[in-house]
Each structure stands twice: as structure tokens, then as C-alpha cells.
Amino acid sequence: MVKFLSDDPQSTAAWAKGSKGEQILAEHMTRVLGDRAVLLHDRTVVGTRRNIDHLAVAASGVWVIDTKYYKGLVELRDVGGWFKSDRRLYVNRRDRTNDVQGLGWQLDAVRSALESIPIAIPLYGALCFVDAEWKLFAKPFTLNGVRVSGPKSLSVAVAQAGTLSSDEVIAVAGHLAAALPSKRS
């Protein structure tokens, strides 16, 4: 009850902070990718209260992107023992592996929306940290099938050559725009 009665609940503050990160990434990707990708921002998953931060449709495929506006160092750590690997994502010394796992339902929603399209469409999940720190020679990494990176390297990955033609990119983007409408409309 206290959370709902306070002037600025933590969830509202977190949403506002996340929204800023989403805007920063949207502006970056629009500027860097130009006409090499169709970008769809803040998409609603019909029948739920959930949303997808960004979809990027390019020759490389469809990218489901969750934006995080966290401060601190991004690290991939293996916290397993001698005989077992347990890779986890840490940001500012906090375990953020659940953020990677949170992309699962988003990928499922997009996969479901793409089922009726008769062509093979590569589908990727990406967790993009805006304003976080990376070690000097750190590279993007994949954890549980999700790419973890910053905006610059994510834009490079999205812009890679791929199997989708320009016409297919436009058709797929139009289909996704209809299936996952903008939250703002």
C-alpha cells in the first residue's frame, strides 16, 4: 500500500529512468542505422500490459531489444565451482542475469507474430546497456542466447549483411507493426 500512496514510488522512478535509456537508444540507432533498418519502438504485446522496448528489422533479421539504463561496470562472470559453469551478468556488482531471462517472453511474442510469414527470418534477442561502463577491451557477449552489449556494437550487429532483401525487411516490419502496435498510438 505504501508504494501506491507515495508521491514518487520506486517503480515510477525506475520507469522514468528506463524511458530515458529507451529514448537515448532510439535516437542513436536512428542516427547510426539510417535506412539500413526499420525501427519500431515501444511496442505493445496485444492482450497483455507488457511492452517491447525496440524492434529492429534489417537484412540481418529481426532484433528484439530490451534497453537498460544502468550505471556501473557490465561484466560476464562465471560463479560456478570447479566442475560446473554458471555464467551470470553483473552490472555495478549486482547480479542482473534475470534481465537476460526477461527477454524470453519478448522473443516468444515476436516469434508468434512472425509465424504467418512464409520465409525464414533470423530472430535475435539483445540486452543493450545505455550509459553503463565496460572494461577497456571488453567485447559484447552472448548469455543464454541473448546478445549483451552497448549501443555502438549493437548497431554494428544489426547493420550486418543478412538473408532478408529490402522488400522483405519492409514487409516484415509492416507485419510486426500491425501485430505489435505502438504503445503511443
Query: What ranges do the domains of the chain cover?
Result: 2-179
From the CA atom positions of the chain, what is the Rg in Å?
A: 17
* pLDDT at residue 26 is higher than 60: yes
CATH-assigned architecture of domain 2-179: 3-Layer(aba) Sandwich (3.40)
* pLDDT at residue 183 is higher than 80: no
Q: Is residue 42 within a helix (H) or strand (E), and if so which, with residue range?
A: strand 37-44
Which residues, in sequence order, are CB contacts of 114 under 8 Å at separation 6+?
62, 121, 123, 172, 175, 176
* pLDDT at residue 185 is higher than 70: no
Q: Is the pTM of this model over 0.85?
A: yes
List pLDDT tens digits, range 135-160.
888 899 999 999 999 999 999 999 99
Residue with cell 525464414: 120
What letter would DSSP give residue 8?
S
**Mean of all residue pLDDT scores within the chain:** 88
* Confidence band for 47, pLDDT divided at 50, 70 and 90: confident
Query: 134: exposed, middle or buried (C-beta count within 10 Å: 0-12, 13-18, 19+)?
Result: middle
Residue 41 neighbours by CB distance under 10 Å: 21
Residue with cell 536512428: 30
List pLDDT tens digits, range 55-112.
999 999 999 999 999 999 999 998 988 899 999 999 999 999 999 999 999 999 999 9
